[in-house]
Every structure is written in structure tokens, then in C-alpha cells.
Structure 1
Amino acid sequence: MDIAVEDVAGRWVAAWTTGRTAELFQLLAAAPAIESNLDPDGDFIELLTGYAAALDSIAVFSQTVVDRRAALVYDCALAGETFRLAEFLAVGESGLVTEIRRVYDLDAIERLMPHLLLAEQ
């Protein structure tokens, strides 16, 4: 069964931006490779949903799909400021996310959401 990467990416975005953790776990393959420049040793799902809950809004600015990979750039807004988040997903033939790489704007997080950095100290 070949599930479209665009569909998986859309379901992934909808789940993490609204804090639907059960759906996030349903979309993840067993032992996915996860890389992030924000709290790489913490609970990834907790970080995703905490980040989304802290923002005023999140919108996909750009999405590119090539083969089984999706690159997403988000516009994140908080306190009247907009900043970016980049996310890269690899999706297996089964439709499960096998790799996630996220690049956060750490300057914006330090200014606007310093509580998210406390886990790193």
C-alpha cells in the first residue's frame, strides 16, 4: 500500500499544530529517527505539542515533496512577531513517518518562549 506523502504530511501538520498526540503516535513508525536543535534529548511529542500550544498561530508557508520526503516551512506567530520553523519528514511506503528533522528559530524562542529552553540547561 503506497500512501501519498502529501496526505501524511497534511495529517502530521494537523495533528501537531492542534495537540492531537494520539494521532501523532499513529503516524510515527517504530523508533523513528528524530533530530532537532531544540531539546534533542527530551520527549519529542511533548515538545511538539508544547510549542504549538505556546504560539498564537501556525501556518504552513511552504511545502515541497520529493519522492518519500516532505520539507515544510512554517510561519509561527507569537506576541505580534512572526518567525520560521523548518521541518523535514521521511515517510515510508506504509505511510508512517520514519524520520523527522526540525530546525527552530532559537533566537525567537529565547526571546518569546524561554521556558522551552529550560530543559536544555
Structure 2
Amino acid sequence: MENAVEDVAGRWVAAWTTGRTAELFRLLAAAPAIESNLDPDGDFIELLTAYAAALDSISVFSQTVLDRRAALVYDCALGGETFRLAEFLTVSDAGLVTEIRRVYDLDAVERLMPHLLLTGQ
């Protein structure tokens, strides 16, 4: 099971970091549970692709897979500054992402990508 989850996580990372929305939708279960500290009420896929497009580079710093869960920590770079993003995925037996939890460095987003913040936050 861990190899299957690792494969799904790898495809997920490749899709969101390159803006391949069709692949993201193929990897998502019908009604995934999504939690994020950045624009929790907005379009999650749109935010993913906008975030990736705003960055100079994204790389996986750390990945841990246990049972049906993957924990990923990314190094994100923009304007010579590197900051982190943490993501937690749960993958079903069918190989679909059923749960996503994302923790953005909101200080870095506010300083470097304020256009991604909701008005009034």
C-alpha cells in the first residue's frame, strides 16, 4: 500500500507544481475533504495552480508515507527567499486523494504573494 500512496503523492506533486489541472482532478476523489489556512472557501485547484505559478521553484524537502497517508514538506522559492509549505494527503484503496490538508507560510504569502490572500483577511 505504501508504494501505491507514494506513487499517487508523486503524481499529485508533479501535477500541482506544473499546473496540470486535469491530472489533479483525475487524482481527486469525488468529494475530498480539504483544509487549508489560505483561502479555505475559494477554489482549491485554482489556488494550487496560482500558488505554483507565482513561485520561482518548488521542491519536495521531505516526504513520509505511512499506510494511506503521505506527509510532504516543500521548499518554495520566490525572489531569493525560501519558505516552506506542508501538505498531508490521504489516499483511498482506489488510488484517489480523499483528504488534503495544507499549511502555508502565511507570513511569506503576505509579503511575497499578497494577491493570493482573500480581501479582508
TM-score range, shorter chain: over 0.9
Distance 1:104 1:22, change over 3 A: same
1:30 partner letter: A
Matched to 2:53, the amino acid is: A
Unaligned runs of 5+ in 1: none
TM-aligned CA distance change 1:65 to 1:120, over 3 Å: farther
**What aligned pairs does 1:3-82 form with structure 2 within 5 A after superposition?**
4-82=4-82
Q: SS state of the match for residue 47, structure 1?
A: helix
Maintained 8 Å contact 1:90/1:97? yes
Native 8 Å contact 1:72 1:88 kept in 2: yes
Distance 2:98 2:119 in 1: 25
Check if 1:111 corresponds to 2:106: no
Over 3 Å counting, the alpha-carbon distance change for 1:66 and 1:90 in structure 2 is same
Letter in structure 2 aligned against 1:6 = E
After TM superposition, give the deviation of residue 30 of structure 1 in Å. 0.5
TM-score normalized with structure 1 length: 0.96
Amino acid at match of 1:52: A
**CA shift for structure 1 position 120:** 5.7
Report the aligned-residue RMSD: 1.6
Sequence identity (%)? 88
How many matched pairs? 121
Whether the 8 Å CA contact 1:73–1:85 is kept in 2: the answer is: yes
Could you state the TM-score of these two structures normalised by the residue count of structure 2?
0.96
4+ residue stretches of structure 1 with deviation over 4 A?
A: none
Deviation at 1:28, TM superposition (A): 0.1
Is this contact kept in 2: 1:85–1:103, CA < 8 A?
yes
